[in-house]
Amino acid sequence: MGDPKQEQRDFFRAEDPASGPLTTDQGVPVDHTDDSLSAGERGPTLLEDFHFREKLTRFDHERIPERVVHARGAGAYGYFEPYESCAEFTRAAFLQDPAVRTPVFVRFSTVQGPKGSADTVRDVRGFATKFYTSEGNYDLVGNNFPVFFIQDGIKFPDFVHAVKPEPHNDIPTGASAHDSLWDFVSLQPETLHAIMWLMSDRAIPRSYRMMQGFGVHTFRFVNVDGKGTFVKFHWKPRLGAHSLVWDEAQECQGRDPDFNRRDLWDAIEAGEFPEWELGVQLVPEEDEFSFDFDLLDATKLIPEEQVPVRPIGRMVLDRNPENFFAETEQVAFHTANVVPGIDFTNDPLLQARNFSYLDTQLIRLGGPNFAQLPVNRPVAPVRTNQRDGYGQSTIHRGTNYFPNSLGGGCPAHAGADPHAFRHYTEKIDGATIRRRSPSFEDHYSQPALFWNSMADWEKQHIVAAFRFELGKVEARAVRARTVEHLAKVDGELAAEVARGIGVPGPAAVAEPASKLSSPALSLRSLRGDGSIRTRRIAVLVADGVDAAQVTSVREALAAEGALVEALAPVDGSVTGSDGERYAVDRALPTMASVLYDAVLLPGGPADTPSTAEDPDAMRFVRDAYRHGKPIAAVGSGVGVLAALEPQGLRLSAEFQQVLSDQGVVTDTTPGPASPEFAQAFVDAIAAHRHWDRPPLRC
Ligand code: HDE
């Protein structure tokens, strides 16, 4: 099956650079591009040099405005296919037939930071999908949190100004730990639910491939009979949802600012295509008022235990873009890009978005013709009376108005054509009013629901995140005001946060705002297929390494789809205990534990230089331990771990068998590692992180 998007892109592709000499924009061959035309060898540059002028002018105009939010991103192409027909609820053509694959382009992003900021900041992640359907483009412009910070779009400029760097000094970059954000939060408690998500590990995903996505708003499915059903969209990653820890995320910002972007790119290049399942929560219109919150309020989620998520299809990303600017930078998403069968609700946040996205593209992409760019161009035919404007690339013929007779009345209205988009008919009756509905008033129950649903380690991370963020806030009154709001969510949470930031705890501990919990909100419940595919495992080797041990574990990990790399003090190769040379993948000083998911410490004869004597290696192991990562040590490699025992690393006394304790897997039996050892390591990696380790003392 041909990919219409690929065919379209091939059509627009630039000339093959190898097909002829360098030319000007006008196609005139250029003899020389290293020296400008001048009057004499040491004379002034001549205006006549059109190649020089064109080259510099084009360079001067290479930048376009970055997105005001979501500036930093990574994109990929792929496809979507439904599991079965959804005709009962929606007439959308791309949700009818499992045999039909719809091409997609997805862009993941951070929100606060500029285009050149680091990936692993504490932030919401954008998850925007463009479906190139046979009935036109459908954009599902979502996030990796199911709720948003504000209820009405008119507050968006306030919220974004508050979270962006402070206006006087443009600090901080990519971070929310500063006064203006928390000032806003402390005065606008509707932010609290999304703030709980922001303080949780969800805000530092291990990978774009390992995070959930949500449409956030309540949308409306409409079937062929015009019947509406409320719908919330969910993306679930096949690899499960996994996160970094804060200390690690911060170090990653320096070690590899492109950590998440590189991860996505590398996985697709390696043929490890990321996959998500699309699920929907469906609410019959008759049940609109059967919740203790308003379905139109984007600061609320519908607990999955109350309305199950029904899987309806899967999306696979299998192709990297060829040119970041042309594709990932110029892609233009818009919540109002809907197709017949998908419609809006009166969520005031969604209504504002339906205005904002087109408006922003006009300035960002320099005029109204951006839908003609290859990445934005629908695969469905486009026939309009829209004309001209900057960058018009279509050569329109014939009439440009309706009605017309001179053009044979074309393009005609779709009229009764069942494929035409017809807005959902909703009865509206109300007075012109500037007031929030009372049904939007409860700002505390769902933050409490989220808190109640967390595992102990998730709660600890949330408290630590609040302490970090508020600890950076200079205005003590803002810290105290935020704690007062937290006290209305949960007294224990407020007291814990207050203790860390030097403000008084809540005076009286009130009842929690909710005693309900939703296990589906915890990362514990999002293990995906439980595999270790694409996990990055470092093997620390040095001269004298027992290569047989490395090979046996390496093969077992590779069989499970993990990516194993041998790291040595210098690049090139090491000499094994058998005297053979073994290739090294990377020099240890160029890498760090934060760039891997787990570490293996093989052994060697006791009289050869040991990893335990290499400060880089010991730091690597210490960091892996502190960040809860699986560590496996075999043979005399266990001695490396033993070196950390005085600092608090827990190691079982009995070394003669495979032991796995809190993700530390050891086996001192000499010779190649046993299958049991390899399996215990695989299981520890599949568990992602191990939180109950005793802390290291330094
Ligand atoms: Fe956006 N948002 N947003 N947003 N948003 C933009 O559009 C806006 C909101 C989201 O990869 C902008 O092209 C308003 C919620 C994503 O290109 C802008 C409001 C959600 C992306 C804009 C919201 C999102 C954007 C900036 C409140 C999750 C990146 C540049 C009414 C459901 C898309 C651009 C990409 C981008 C406006 C709230 C997600 C300015 C006014 C809620 C993933 O138009």
| pLDDT one-digit tens code per residue, 533-583 | 999 999 999 999 999 999 999 999 999 999 999 999 999 999 999 999 999
Domain shared by 324 and 275, yes or no: yes
Nearest CA to 351 out of 157, 219, 193 is that of 219
Task: Report whether residue 105 contacts ligand 1, using a CB cutoff of 6 Å.
Answer: no
What tokens were used for 459?
A: 């709660």
User: Looking at ligand 1, which residue's alpha carbon is closest to its atom 22?
Assistant: 357
Whether residues 563 and 493 share a domain: the answer is no
631 Cβ neighbours under 8 A, 6+ residues apart: 598, 599, 600, 601, 621, 624, 625, 641, 663, 664, 665
- Phi/psi for 317 (5° steps) reads -105, 115
Distance CA 112, CA 68 (A): 9
The pLDDT, as a whole number, for residue 419 is 85
The verdict on 237 and 264 lying in the same domain is: yes
Least confident of 6-15, 162-171, 458-467, 585-594: 6-15
Please report the atom of ligand 1 found closest to the CA of residue 350. 31
Looking at the structure, tell me whether residues 207 and 311 fall in a common domain. Answer: yes
Rounded to the nearest whole angstrom, what is the distance from the C-alpha of residue 425 to the centroid of ligand 1? 27
Ligand 1 atom with minimal separation from the 352 CA: 31
Q: Which protein residue's CA is at the shortest distance from atom 38 of ligand 1?
A: 353
Residue 475 within a domain: yes
Of 604, 617, 697, 622, nearest to 664 by C-alpha is 622
Q: Residue 234 in 3-state DSSP?
A: strand
β strands within 483-569, DSSP E: 536-540, 563-568
Dihedral sign for Cα 514, 516, 520, 523, please.
positive
Binned at pLDDT 50, 70 and 90, residue 458 comes out as very high
Residue 194 falls inside a structural domain: yes
- The structure tokens 């109204």 sit at 368
pLDDT in tens, 62-71: 999 999 999 9
Would you say residue 344 lies in a domain? yes
Taking only the tens place, the pLDDT of each residue in 256-285 is 999 999 999 999 999 999 999 999 999 999
Cβ-proximal residues to 613 (8 Å cutoff; 6+ apart), any chain: none
Cα separation, 42 vs 581, whole angstroms: 57
Cis peptide before 411 (omega within 30 of 0): yes
- Is 494 within 8 Å of 467 (Cβ atoms)? no
* Any atom of ligand 1 within 6 Å of the Cβ of 73: yes
Q: What is the largest CA-CA distance in the chain?
A: 94
- Does a cis peptide bond (omega within 30 degrees of 0) precede residue 114? no
- In this structure, is residue 540 part of a structural domain? yes
Best mutation site among 125, 193, 351, 357 for ligand 1 pocket (most ligand atoms within 8 Å of CB): 357
> C-alpha angle 168/169/170, rounded to 5°?
105
In this predicted structure, the answer to whether residue 606 has a pLDDT above a threshold of 70 is no
Per residue in 430-451, pLDDT tens? 999 999 999 999 999 999 999 9
Looking at the domain assignment, is residue 379 inside a domain?
no
In the chain, the number of structural domains is: 3
Position 530 in a domain? no
What was the pLDDT predicted at 563?
A: 97
User: What pLDDT digit, counting tens, does each position of 354-386 carry?
Assistant: 999 999 999 999 999 999 999 999 999 999 999
Look at ligand 1, atom 28, and give the residue with the nearest C-alpha. 142
Which member of 70, 217, 242, 485 is catalytic?
70
Catalytic status, residue 376: no
Mutate which of 353, 360, 365 for ligand 1 pocket (most atoms within 8 A of beta carbon): 353
Dihedral of the CA atoms 608, 613, 619, 625 (nearest 10)?
60
CATH assignment of the domain containing 647: 3.40.50.880
**645 and 497 in one domain?**
no
User: Is residue 504's pLDDT more than 70?
Assistant: yes
Distances (CA, A) of 525 to 153, 518, 520, 598, 687: 32, 10, 6, 22, 12
Q: Separation of 69 CA from ligand 1 center, angstroms?
A: 7
Average pLDDT over residues 242-254: 98
Which DSSP string corresponds to 279-310? EEEEEEGGGTT-SSS-TT-TT----TTTSPPE
Is the domain of 290 the same as that of 352? Answer: yes
Bridge-based pairing state of the strands 102-110 and 598-601: unpaired
Backbone torsions φ then ψ of 45, nearest 5 degrees? -75, 140
* 162 and 93 within one domain: yes
pLDDT at 388: 97
In eight-state DSSP terms, residue 694 is: P
> Is 69's C-beta closer than 6 angstroms to any atom of ligand 1?
yes
Kindly give the number of the ligand 1 atom that is closest to the alpha carbon of 128: 43
Evaluate: CB of 75 within 6 angstroms of ligand 1: no
Contacts of 666 (CB under 8 A, 6+ apart): 632, 633, 634, 638, 641, 651, 652, 655, 658, 659, 660
The answer to whether 666 touches 659, Cβ cutoff 8 Å, is: yes
- DSSP three-state, residue 118: coil
Q: Is the pLDDT of residue 655 over 60?
A: no
pLDDT, tens digit, 9 for 90 and up, residues 310-345: 999 999 999 999 999 999 999 999 999 999 999 999
Cβ of residue 107 lying under 6 Å from some atom of ligand 1: yes
User: Atom 3, ligand 1: which residue's CA is nearest?
Assistant: 353
205 CA distance to ligand 1 centroid (A)? 19
Start-to-end Cα distance in the chain: 58
Q: Which atom of ligand 1 is nearest to the CA of 148?
A: 42
Question: Among 356, 359, 365, which residue has the most ligand 1 atoms within 8 Å of its CB, making it the best to mutate?
Answer: 356
Atom of ligand 1 nearest to the CA of 359: 44
Query: Is residue 151 located within the same domain as residue 259?
Result: yes
Write out the two tokens for 574.
Answer: 């090491």
Q: Which long-range contacts (CB under 8 A, 24 or more apart) does 46-53 make?
A: 50/24, 51/24
Instruction: Give the distance (Å) from ligand 1 centre to CA of residue 356.
Output: 8
Interstrand relation of 228-237 and 219-222 (parallel, antiparallel or unpaired): antiparallel
Measure 176 CA to ligand 1 centroid, in angstroms.
18
Amino acid at 383: R
Report the alpha-carbon distance of residue 215 to residue 426 in Å, rounded: 22
Q: Is the CB of 352 under 6 A from ligand 1?
A: yes
Q: Do 586 and 483 share a structural domain?
A: no
* Domain range enclosing 598: 536-686
**Ligand 1: does its nearest atom lie under 6 Å from the Cβ of 106?**
no
> What pLDDT, on a 0 to 100 scale, did the predictor assign at position 653?
58
8-state DSSP, 45: B
- Ligand 1 pocket residue status of 356, Cβ below 6 Å: yes
Atom of ligand 1 nearest to the CA of 67: 30
In this structure, is residue 42 part of a structural domain?
Answer: no
Which one of 500, 525, 550 terminates a domain? 525
Residue 587 carries which side chain, given as an amino acid letter? A
Q: Residue 600: beta bridge partners?
A: 539, 632
Q: What percent of the chain has pLDDT over 90?
A: 87
Least confident span in 22-36, 563-577, 641-655 = 641-655
Residue 335 CA, ligand 1 centroid: distance in Å: 9
* Contact between 70 and 110 (Cβ < 8 Å): yes
Q: Is the pLDDT of residue 607 over 60?
A: no
Buried b (16+ CB within 10 A) or exposed e, 306-344: ebebeebbbbbbebbbeeeebbbbbbbbbbebbbbbbbb
Average pLDDT over residues 348-353: 98
Torsion on CA atoms 176, 177, 179, 182, rounded to nearest 10: 70
**Given a cut of 60, is residue 656 above it in pLDDT?**
no
In angstroms and rounded to an integer, the radius of gyration of the C-alpha atoms of the chain is 29
3-state helix, strand, coil in the chain (%, to 5): 35, 15, 50
Q: Considering 325, 348, 372, which residue would you say is the last residue of a domain?
A: 372
> Of ligand 1's atoms, which has the minimum distance to the CA of residue 351?
31
Does pLDDT of 657 surpass 70? no
Amino acid (1-letter code) at residue 259: F
Quick check: CB of 148 below 6 Å from ligand 1?
yes
- Residue 357 CA to ligand 1 center (angstroms) comes to 7
Residue 126 CB less than 6 A away from ligand 1 = yes
Average confidence score pLDDT of the chain: 95
> What is the predicted pLDDT for the residue at 281?
98
Q: Which of 525, 549, 578 is the last residue of a domain?
A: 525
Cα-to-centroid distance, 530 and ligand 1 (Å):
32
Q: Is the pLDDT of residue 1 over 60?
A: no
Same-domain status, 569 and 611? yes
Q: Does residue 315 sit in the same domain as residue 211?
A: yes
What's the pTM value of the predicted model, to 2 decimals? 0.97
pLDDT of residue 609: 56
Dig out the tokens for 62 from the structure: 């290479």
41: alpha, beta or left? (left if phi > 0; alpha if psi -120 to 50): alpha
What was the pLDDT predicted at 654? 57
Looking at the predicted structure, is the pLDDT value of residue 461 above 60?
A: yes
Q: Is 143 a catalytic residue?
A: yes
Instruction: Determine the average pLDDT of the residues in 471-489.
Output: 97
| Ligand 1 pocket mutation, candidates 67, 112, 154, 362, criterion most atoms within 8 A of CB | 67
Bridge partner list, 236: 277
The active-site residue, picked from 51, 61, 137, 143, is 143
Report the CATH number at residue 318: 2.40.180.10
Ligand 1 contact via 234 beta carbon (within 6 Å): no
pLDDT, tens digit, 9 for 90 and up, residues 190-245 = 999 999 999 999 999 999 999 999 999 999 999 999 999 999 999 999 999 999 99
What local confidence, expressed as pLDDT, does residue 64 receive? 97
CATH of the domain at 459: 1.20.1370.20
Higher pLDDT residue, 28 or 645? 28
In one-letter notation, the amino acid at residue 252 is C
Instruction: Using pLDDT thresholds of 50, 70 and 90, give the confidence band for residue 111.
Output: very high
pLDDT of residue 498: 98
Residue 49 lies in a domain: no
Per-residue tokens: 307 = 């309305």
In terms of domains, do 263 and 198 share one? yes
Q: Tell me, what's the pLDDT at 695? A: 83
Q: Which of 66, 69, 208 to mutate to test the pocket of ligand 1 (most atoms within 8 A of CB)?
A: 69
Per-residue pLDDT at 673: 87
